[in-house]
Structure 1
Amino acid sequence: MADLKGFNSDEQGRSDVDKTTGTLTHVEGPSDTLGLKNPAFWYSGGFITLFVLMAIFAEAQLAEIVNVSFAWSVNIFGPFWQILLLATFVIALAVGAGRTGRVILGNLPVPEMDSFKWMAILFCTLLAGGGVFWAAAEPIAHYVTAPPLYGESPDLQQRAFNALSQSFMHWGFLAWSIVGSLTAIVVMHLHYDKGLPLKPRTLLYPVFGERVLTGQAGAIIDACCIVAVAAGTIGPIGFLGLQTSYALNELFGIPDTFTTQLIIIVFAIALYTISAISGLTRGMQLLSRFNVTLAFALMVFILIFGPTNFIVNGYIQGVGSLIDNFIPMATYRGDEGWLSWWTVFFWGWFLGYGPMMAIFIARISRGRTIRELITTVCIIAPLVTCFWFTIVGGSGLAFEIANPGSVSAAFEGFNLPGALLAVTQQLPFPLITSILFLILTTIFIVTTGDSMTYTISVVISGEREPNAMIRTFWGIMMGVTAIVLISLGSGGVSALQSFIVITAVPVSFVLLPSLWNGPKIAQQMARDQDLYRPNKVVVNHRKAEEKLAKQKIIEEK
């Protein structure tokens, strides 16, 4: 693999490598404030514009195209996606558990960000956008209509535990692994050690070499990944307006109209755009820490004052059932209709985030070891997510068993916010609890919005710290697109949600080479860092590096 330190793939200027820190610095070049010289800007922006115009002027034709393409995507590529996610998880665990787990990523001997801040951003960015409304809705959905692998059970409690287990499969180990394990290793090595740009096309460099870094092919790859993650972010922003407006109407009688939805989304746009402009060390960290603290407080509150016994039993047995049925659930192909609206739908959604999330994780994880990254992303975060689903959705199941219809009736018609409110209204201090959950949901989606605004700006600009103008442009653009789509009714946003799965088709092939490139790069880095020496020497070597780095920071201050 060629060493491309100082390689320039952007038209805007030149990228040099700081010989002391090994980091890329962008130096003078022709001004390109919005990244207009990057073809990926025009491909991605043009495609999103075309989608919106069709939603306005040709909604029926757009719906037909999306429905046909969606069915084709899940039927043809569904099995491939299932194997891809399973293989990514298994290989990532092997890389993290072996000697390669001690590899230090990012060409920095000590972590750039402390552990709490780092984990808070990870938790609030990756799967958090859908983790509140879905945490209440998906378990009750599987309780009302049992997943085909489990089937109906006359024992209501066992039926509830099975519903939790199926939810854990969709939001647990496989989902987290595809958005930030092997791909993050590849991106971090090629960017920080080899000087390649923070762009999705970099994931294909080990396969195609330098030709993928320049020209139209690379721009098209970047554009596909930008469209996928933009669609995946615009959808939740739109649903935030629809669902929060519904909740405010139920709680306070505020009219559930487009005006209310507009105000909510404009507030969210302002919040996540300001956060994205402020950067990783300010707004994003502040919002992430706030939301993690709030989520933890709500979990403790519900664990103490909610159906405690059911929550504890549901989590233990749900995780146990997930592990026991892990391979059958991950590879289930018995009911393709059910798969297309559940497992394969979620896999397509998460795949669409994969390359851009890898870039974002690469940006915040310098100085972490592979083992720290894999353990956090592939094990700790999924188990925390499963516990969150048990706290919210498990409480709903307990209430439903005790009082049939108390949650399922509100959920009827796939009403996600209705399910959440049905749960919070049966907890102590229902009004306060409901408001806090709405705040939590809003901030979660805001943290997803600011991180993706930042990451898209990085890809378009070719800089690790994009200017405020380009961050503002992409933040507002995604929010305005959401507003236009919900102005047409929920059908516009629903079409976009289905379109996310279609975008996963090309993106999945961008992620595929990481299955073998991730372990190969990890082994090469282990050799470069002398990690095949005896353990004791390796540990002392790491400690010496950390000591020197800390000493240097003190001297600089």
Structure 2
Amino acid sequence: MSNPKGSTQNRSVMYISSAIIVLFVIFGMFLPKEMGKVANASFAFLTTDFGWLYLLAVAFFTVFVYGIAFSRFGLIKLGKEGDKPEFTNFQWFSMLFGGGMGIGLVFWSVAEPMMHYLTPPMSEAGTPEAMRTAMRIMFFHWGIHPWVIFAIGGLALAYFQFRKDLPFLVSSAFYPLIGDRIYGPIGKAIDILAVFATVFGVATSLGLGSNQIATGLQYIWGIPATPTTVSIVIAVMTLLFTLATISGLHKAMQIAADIKIWLSIGFMVFIFLFGGTVLILNNFTDTLGAYLQNFVGQTFWMGNIEWLNGWTVFYWAWWIAWAPFVGQFVARVSKGRSIREFVLAVTLLPSGFSMVWLSIYGSAAFNLDKLSNGAIQEAVKTDYTTALFAMLQQLPLYSITAPLAILLIVACFVGAANSATYVLAMLTSNGDMDPGKKLRSFWGVIQGAFTIILILVGGGTAALAVLQTVSIVAAFPFMLIMIAMCFSIYKALVQEKPLG
């Protein structure tokens, strides 16, 4: 199963994917209105005619990944039979907690439940029932389903790399179906689609983070949050990250990761203590029960198509676009684990952390909104990117917590950019698990330029809609790739010798 054409594939995947993305950036620079029209037309077609497919695909992924975990295949090791886990359970669990979603959780944890409360998909707005529905929907969007998607991507990468010695590439997962053709045009096309999905998915996250930084600067210090300001934020962050990558300043990246972890914990504890402790605990208990009770029904629910296209379909597409990105991370730290260990840890531990996070932020937002006579609601109606700062304004020490919130978002931004450029470099260097600095720098610049173009095309808050649109469009072909990937994984597993 060795790759006889590694260097050729390396160059061709990098050249083709980067050339098309550069052309996309140029198209957006000189014909922004036309690009917006194409993106919107594609979005309308996919959500109107294929929104159901996103829902069914994620339902299939859920059944598949747990079916594999609890079958006899669950005992198969992600590695050779003699391989031991590289990390202790505590280290492994800690890394899984920090594996993804940083910017998204910070951005949406206050804004999303408040938006569902104001315009619920299935109940009267502004009622206690609307609040319960809003929290349940948050658990649904950020709970088990996204991590099921990541688990499939990670399982494919880990199994075929560590057990079958194939390149650390998405195309390797298709060896049972197409054999050595993974080294030819078909395999290259698969890896190029993985690059596109990663670029569009991460651009959405960077767009969210940069918008929140810009609106935070406006909310705190009155600096106008124009598309130009957002673009400057992205450019500065990209420059800093790229310089750090070229200079090999790994300590700077580690400092950013440490800041992210400690600030995240600090904010959770602070909001839990001052945002209404009893209400937070009550809401967590009630929402967890409602989430589990409605798990199957919510998975297939299509009672409000327009709402679904803007929320659930967007989220499923976003998570699918992140599958090569987060899957690569969880795969790399899971060598030596059994498939059952891997699936249960990857799907349950991070989703459990997300639910605790969302309960604290969302419940505190509802509590403080009531105490402030609707101040947070009004902020969300005006500009939902300011939701976090509107909530912090109702808590003690706002002059300290608001700048720290900016710092947390910056740390999440840097961490996402660092990981994304690493993964893109790996995908375009034949799966090299230690890609060169020049290639990482190249993808850092491309990611920054790409996100800036999308921001300028959309303009202001509308740019987020553009980012959501392109995420759904880019994720569609990769969703089909992931469905085929499941069958390929199964075919490989049935060829394993029975254990025991």
CA distance in 1, matches of 2:140, 2:275: 24
Task: Give the corresponding residue for 1:479.
Answer: 448
Residue of 207, 217, 234 corresponding to 1:248: 217
Residue of 120, 127, 131 corresponding to 2:105: 131
CA 1:373–1:272 in 2, change beyond 3 Å: closer, same or farther? farther
Answer yes or no: is the 8 Å Cα contact 2:275–2:364 preserved in 1. yes
- Shift of residue 397, structure 1, vs aligned partner: 1.4
TM-score (ref. length: structure 2) = 0.91
CA 1:383–1:42 in 2, change beyond 3 Å: closer, same or farther? same
Task: Give the corresponding residue for 2:162.
Answer: 192
CA distance in 2, matches of 1:275, 1:366: 29
CA distance in 1, matches of 2:272, 2:32: 45
Q: Which amino acid aligns with 1:504?
A: A
Moved more, 85-94 or 227-236: 85-94
CA distance in 1, matches of 2:20, 2:35: 13
Answer yes or no: is the 8 Å Cα contact 1:170–1:346 preserved in 2. yes
CA distance in 1, matches of 2:75, 2:244: 33
Larger Rg: 1
CA distance in 1, matches of 2:249, 2:76: 24
Answer yes or no: is the 8 Å Cα contact 1:55–1:492 preserved in 2. no
In the alignment, is residue 43 of structure 1 matched against residue 13 of structure 2?
no
Task: Give the corresponding residue for 2:124.
Answer: 152
Task: Give the corresponding residue for 1:552.
Answer: none
Answer yes or no: is the 8 Å Cα contact 1:396–1:407 preserved in 2. yes
Answer yes or no: is the 8 Å Cα contact 1:121–1:288 preserved in 2. no
Task: Give the corresponding residue for 2:153.
Answer: 183
Answer yes or no: is the 8 Å Cα contact 1:241–1:264 preserved in 2. yes
* Deviations, residues 178-233 of structure 1 (Å, cap 9, x unaligned): 02x1332222221122222122212222222221x122222222112211211121
Q: 1:459-538 residue pairs with structure 2 within 5 A?
A: 459-462=427-430, 463-488=432-457, 489-490=459-460, 491=462, 494-519=465-490, 521-522=492-493, 527=498, 530=499, 533=500
Answer yes or no: is the 8 Å Cα contact 2:118–2:125 preserved in 1. no
CA distance in 2, matches of 1:141, 1:376: 31
Q: 1:358-397 residue pairs with structure 2 within 5 A?
A: 358-397=327-366
CA distance in 2, matches of 1:81, 1:256: 34
Question: Any unmatched runs of 5+ in structure 2?
Answer: none
CA distance in 1, matches of 2:290, 2:483: 29
Task: Give the corresponding residue for 1:174.
Answer: 145
Alpha-carbon RMSD = 2.7
The residue matched to 2:375 in structure 1 has which SS? Answer: coil
Q: Which amino acid aligns with 1:203?
A: A
- Shift of residue 277, structure 1, vs aligned partner: 6.6
* Deviations, residues 222-261 of structure 1 (Å, cap 9, x unaligned): 1122112111212322333332122112112334356643
- Shift of residue 62, structure 1, vs aligned partner: 1.4
CA 1:86–1:124 in 2, change beyond 3 Å: closer, same or farther? same
Task: Give the corresponding residue for 2:32.
Answer: 59
CA 1:278–1:90 in 2, change beyond 3 Å: closer, same or farther? farther
Answer yes or no: is the 8 Å Cα contact 2:174–2:488 preserved in 1. no
CA distance in 2, matches of 1:522, 1:438: 46
CA distance in 2, matches of 1:483, 1:182: 31
- Shift of residue 102, structure 1, vs aligned partner: 3.7
CA distance in 2, matches of 1:239, 1:468: 26
CA 1:261–1:44 in 2, change beyond 3 Å: closer, same or farther? same
Moved more, 221-230 or 285-294: 285-294
CA 1:227–1:514 in 2, change beyond 3 Å: closer, same or farther? closer
CA distance in 2, matches of 1:511, 1:182: 8
CA 1:158–1:487 in 2, change beyond 3 Å: closer, same or farther? closer
CA distance in 1, matches of 2:319, 2:4: 30
CA distance in 1, matches of 2:14, 2:464: 22
Answer yes or no: is the 8 Å Cα contact 2:74–2:339 preserved in 1. yes
TM-score (ref. length: structure 1) = 0.82
Q: 1:292-311 residue pairs with structure 2 within 5 A?
A: 292-311=261-280
CA 1:277–1:191 in 2, change beyond 3 Å: closer, same or farther? farther
**Number of matched pairs:** 496
CA distance in 2, matches of 1:383, 1:422: 26
Residue of 42, 48, 56 corresponding to 1:75: 48
Answer yes or no: is the 8 Å Cα contact 1:200–1:359 preserved in 2. no
- Shift of residue 421, structure 1, vs aligned partner: 1.0
In the alignment, is residue 269 of structure 1 matched against residue 238 of structure 2?
yes
- Shift of residue 452, structure 1, vs aligned partner: 1.4
In the alignment, is residue 90 of structure 1 matched against residue 63 of structure 2?
yes
Answer yes or no: is the 8 Å Cα contact 2:106–2:409 preserved in 1. yes
